[in-house]
Amino acid sequence: MKVCNIIVMSKGGVGKSFTAWVLAQWAKDKNHDMYCADTDPGNPTFAGYQALNVEYIDIANDEMQINRSRFDDLIDNIAGHDGFSVIDTGSTTFFPLMSYISEARTLDALKNEGVRVILHVPIVGGSATKETMAAFAKVLESTDVEVVVWLNGKYGAVELNGKPITETQIYKKYETRVLGLVNVKTRAEDTFGEDFSTLLGNK
């Protein structure tokens, strides 16, 4: 079965590459035939994990719009792969990417090739919750595929106006398309946190 996981978010530093890293390691552990790609033009963190054989494809042109030829090559790679794909995207290309996906009906093309497409959206707590929720809404409104939400509480509780995101209007409207919520737990910074930072830093 072909499954393509695409990580999308308009804000940097919220855990996109971490999400890609976790998904790819899970697939590797399950012995799935993997295809991994990083399309972030500014900070291709995911491509740095050599053990995961991540291909770097810069899908942005000089104006930070989508280079259609390179993006279409990426879609061809995904469609032609009989296995599990993990695609990390950049925050700077989020809005043009969402627009192009909608305009070109890219996800429909993948589905027609027998690919199950799942979008993964990290939502961060604290002052950035509102911005990441707005991007979450954009993803849901621009597409019609399944979504997994990753709740990153590193910077505070993932809440909007004092309520969990599951109580928001946008979540309730599209709840049937949400496959699940992944809670990324906050650990003690002086023990687990230091070790984890070292792990990520060493790729």
- State the Cα–Cα distance between residues 88 and 4, nearest whole angstrom: 11
- pLDDT value of residue 161: 87
- pLDDT value of residue 58: 92
- pLDDT value of residue 194: 76
Q: Is pLDDT above 80 for 134?
A: yes
Q: What's the average model confidence in pLDDT over 81-85?
A: 95
Q: What's the average model confidence in pLDDT over 46-59?
A: 93
Contact between 85 and 53 (Cβ < 8 Å) = no
Q: What's the average model confidence in pLDDT over 127-146?
A: 94
Q: Is pLDDT above 80 for 155?
A: yes
Round the average pLDDT of the chain to a whole number and report it.
91
List of residues 6+ apart from 162 with CB closer than 8 A: none
Q: Is the pTM of this model over 0.75?
A: yes
- State the Cα–Cα distance between residues 194 and 32, nearest whole angstrom: 31
Q: Is pLDDT above 80 for 130?
A: yes
Handedness of CA 188, 182, 136, 53 (dihedral sign): positive
Burial 117-156 (b: 16+ CB within 10 A, else e): bbbbbbbbbeebbeebbebbbbbbebbebebbbbbbbbee
List of residues 6+ apart from 31 with CB closer than 8 A: none
Q: What's the average model confidence in pLDDT over 99-110?
A: 93
- pLDDT value of residue 191: 67
What are 162-197's pLDDT values in tens digits?
A: 899 999 999 999 999 999 999 987 776 766 667 777
- pLDDT value of residue 188: 66
